Structure 1
């Protein structure tokens, strides 16, 4: 545990420690930073002691309260705090605007000691704490929290600026442990969040200005008609003269200087009043403030339970409403009645003491905010949220630079509000689409959720999805997950040859790749669910240049090899992300499909389906002279077979396998060759060391070099090999373990065989004679016989033909057939 600073006074002592030693700024690759420790005393009797210290600051300056330098604090770091009152009986408190940051602090010894941990998590910027002694605010101290993985002055500011460029509110939160300094902006009206930040910032100054007005109000003159006795009239104006001449007024006539005048006439004397246009304007503005506060408060009034932050926000709004109500009850504002003219302004309102300050502050509430400058304190979203927003915007911009503006640019600006918080809208509606040609569209989606129960068991929600839609191809997708976490341990670097996101973040990408499924509508047969994600990358904040050794890391190389990897991305380093995206954007369906990691079972299944369509001839050898015949076949690479008009397979033979009888050792099928060509010739035209028995039409196959089978097919006691050979398919030849299994020529037959073997059902195989096969509807000729006397044969499009030992059978699919198998054994 390392001590970072100590504040020692005659009222209290505060010690601030870092729990674990580490070089926090090593990943940011920035210049060494100087932290902040600004001290603001609120007690005139506060004295500094010699025990003051600040890590990294010379001892001579550590005790100087006017020096704002201090040790830097970092995100995602645990700090230990110990605050103790200097005198027995003193109660001390450590307060912060954000209740979350102080919730791990405990009070002991009747309030004399406060201790516990503080962790700023992903919040970056300045943070203000207040120390109270016996309920009185004694000292404020401000620290500054720096990022550990990115450069504070460049990358962090660029991320905030990019997010602000889409919508300023995306970067803000109302209540956080840290803040950045900002300024006013007149280019747009404020949101409720910005408005609340502003009213909170100006309320103290507004209070002072309005109290000054109440103490020294500027009154106006007003003339009101009233009936007055003649002797009380002090000023004779034209209106009074006119009434005298015309004999108007009330009461009896009296003589006055030879003129008859009524005893009472109407006059309009000038009177001082507080009901001025300036006061009316101020009242209207304060009423608007109170109304807006009420609208914001209603957001929280509707919630039954509030988190500590939302409760603190609600309480703060209530306090603001009380203060504004008090301002509305000040005499000049209370006396104002009515509305000022539209667009009212006066020299007094913009220049008189008190008025000009109130006018300026209330006008601030009509302006927006920007995260630059040094006027307003703004709470910013956690860095991991900002990084996620920024990576999404960066992906969109890279594709936009390649293909022009998206078709629905407004979708990029869709947001949702939760109280005073504004976030990018998530899900299917938050997407931008780019047209890359007449038949191809690229969509970039933010936080889409895959929750269709027919497609996934557990909902999946990647950060960014890049979706490629092209005619003739199924949906192809890339996943990018923003991970503002880095594993910088030596073990990790040795394993992956680079720093990068934690292993659990990589595992999530494997899950996305396998769990995100799409219904393939392009399939020629029944559409089915298929994996659509060909590559998934974790985007992490690290400043690695393209010429660095990251290209040699497993994180980068595994993207192409395994389809899962990681990419460093920061405002100063987007080259790797751009290269990865453009390599996909500039490719078509074939090249994108090459990126997909094939499932071994799918590949084998497709291969066996193809194998089930390729005819194979199981050739036999003449007897006697078996060895001589075999030697001739091997040396001449020829094999002939009687031509049969009823067997069209002879025209489509892909391979010839050789059955060796018992006379050559163990009987079985051990040799095979590919057919290169064939001819129809008479037997007399084929030159062999043995004479022809009869002259007939033959099919002469020219073969590739004879080679041993990958696996011998043994002859068992139950097997039978006809003298003229046997027909099968490459599927039957490659999968068969015995000669009888060679006759299983179709995929459904092999599916049934696998199920029987897996469930250990006793059976035997018996064959019908070879028949003409319909290429569009191949049928099996192998009967599966069971101990019960039942038997089953695959009958093409009809399904499986089931013939029970007793009663009538029928046709079944394999699934239904399995359900009816209870009587087979």
Structure 2
């Protein structure tokens, strides 16, 4: 498709040569999709029309334009949006709402990936900035020529400001897992030593050199994002400090599963046949824990190769009785 001629119809391109930043922004969007089109199936687009005369692209500044692709290996879909406006008047997506709770955000390009096994889109921002910092002070600080500091700070803002709201619970979640500056620089090898390239792996904020002859780093990164599992993508998010302690204190406070030990195979058979399990009252605080399930633990010492938890059941009733009344398993 991209081998045909290209005609651009848009009022935004009645430009002087000085307005290169806008032209670069547009070129980045076209080039990103050119790279993706080589490996993935284009499903739909809302701004491209094709006839014998070539490809006709109609874009309007401030209006979102989107291409949707399918990964032929995983059958997962993803989309690339230009002018992906995230408004304070958030978009209702059924079970969730997407937007910005504070100030409307306008990233240039947004990659949204729908991973199998997840009902949420993992989003990444790629913002075109036709500016680089070549000052000696900057190079000493960051390890070479690269994107401007204020543009990197904008990426942090995007990641923090664009959110999902769960319409059922009212809880807000970050949905942007990474944000990156695209900037015009030709030496990819030299840029690998730059702090803003290393920070991509460390915190998922950084920049990629992006020119007609400089696309390898960006292309490799796109393929990695699109083909990795939902677990790998999720692990790109940064955890809040204290989260581990919070999970221990709050999430595991509600302990509803009793893991019951077994003396031998005979007890296992009796428990399964009678559909019950017994333990000393001293072993569990029934007032503190609302036991809903019992899992029978077969120890390695007593069950050898059959060790583990194979059987579990939902608790229907709990009775406090004297030990000598449990006739199925006589006390020793």
TM-score class, shorter: 0.5 to 0.7
Query: How much does 1:381 deviate?
Result: 6.7
Larger relative contact order, structure 1 or 2 (CA cutoff 8 Å, min sep 6)? 2
Verify the 8 A CA contact 1:481 1:538 in the aligned structure 2. yes
Specify the alignment match of 1:391 in structure 2.
Answer: 28
Q: Distance in 2 between matches of 1:401 and 1:450?
A: 29
Q: Distance in 2 between matches of 1:446 and 1:563?
A: 21
Partner deviation per Cα, 1:111-155 (whole Å, 9 max, x = no partner): xxxxxxxxxxxxxxxxxxxxxxxxxxxxxxxxxxxxxxxxxxxxx
Match of 1:774, SS?
Answer: coil
How many residues of Structure 1 are paired with residues of Structure 2 in the alignment? 260
Partner deviation per Cα, 1:367-408 (whole Å, 9 max, x = no partner): xxxxxxxxxxxxx4711111100111111111111113x222
Query: How much does 1:496 deviate?
Result: 1.5
Q: Distance in 2 between matches of 1:399 and 1:726?
A: 58
Query: How much does 1:167 deviate?
Result: 2.5
Among residues 35, 38, 50, which one is paired with 1:401 in the alignment?
Answer: 38
Partner deviation per Cα, 1:194-247 (whole Å, 9 max, x = no partner): xxxxxxxxxxxxxxxxxxxxxxxxxxxxxxxxxxxxxxxxxxxxxxxxxxxxxx
Q: Please list, as runs of the form range in 1=range in 2, the aligned pairs for 1:198-217 lying within 5 A after superposition.
A: none
Question: Does 2:306 match 1:771?
Answer: no
Specify the alignment match of 2:94 in structure 1.
Answer: none
Specify the alignment match of 1:611 in structure 2.
Answer: 252
Specify the alignment match of 2:205 in structure 1.
Answer: 564
Verify the 8 A CA contact 1:551 1:557 in the aligned structure 2. yes
Specify the alignment match of 1:580 in structure 2.
Answer: 221
- Structure 1 residues 509 and 412, CA gap change in structure 2 (3 angstroms): farther
Verify the 8 A CA contact 2:112 2:121 in the aligned structure 1. yes
Verify the 8 A CA contact 1:493 1:499 in the aligned structure 2. yes
Among residues 441, 446, 452, which one is paired with 2:82 in the alignment?
Answer: 446
Q: Distance in 2 between matches of 1:480 and 1:516?
A: 14
Specify the alignment match of 1:469 in structure 2.
Answer: 114
Q: Please list, as runs of the form range in 1=range in 2, the aligned pairs for 1:435-514 lying within 5 A after superposition.
A: 435-436=70-71, 440-453=76-89, 455-473=100-118, 474-514=120-160
RMSD across aligned positions (CA): 3.5
Q: Distance in 1 between matches of 2:238 and 2:63?
A: 26
Among residues 43, 59, 69, which one is paired with 1:424 in the alignment?
Answer: 59
Partner deviation per Cα, 1:624-656 (whole Å, 9 max, x = no partner): xxxxxxxxxxxxxxxxxxxxxxxx95x46xxxx
- Structure 1 residues 776 and 492, CA gap change in structure 2 (3 angstroms): farther
TM-score scaled by length of structure 1: 0.29
Structure 2 residues not aligned, in runs of 5+: 51-56, 91-99, 265-277, 294-332
Verify the 8 A CA contact 1:412 1:432 in the aligned structure 2. no
Q: Distance in 2 between matches of 1:167 and 1:698?
A: 78
Query: How much does 1:602 deviate?
Result: 4.6
Structure 1 residues not aligned, in runs of 5+: 1-161, 177-379, 415-421, 616-647, 653-676, 681-696, 700-723, 728-769, 778-825
Q: Distance in 2 between matches of 1:425 and 1:172?
A: 7
Among residues 141, 156, 167, which one is paired with 2:7 in the alignment?
Answer: 167
Question: Does 2:178 match 1:535?
Answer: yes
Match of 1:389, SS?
Answer: helix
TM-score scaled by length of structure 2: 0.67
Verify the 8 A CA contact 1:518 1:531 in the aligned structure 2. yes
Question: Does 2:100 match 1:434?
Answer: no
Query: How much does 1:590 deviate?
Result: 1.5
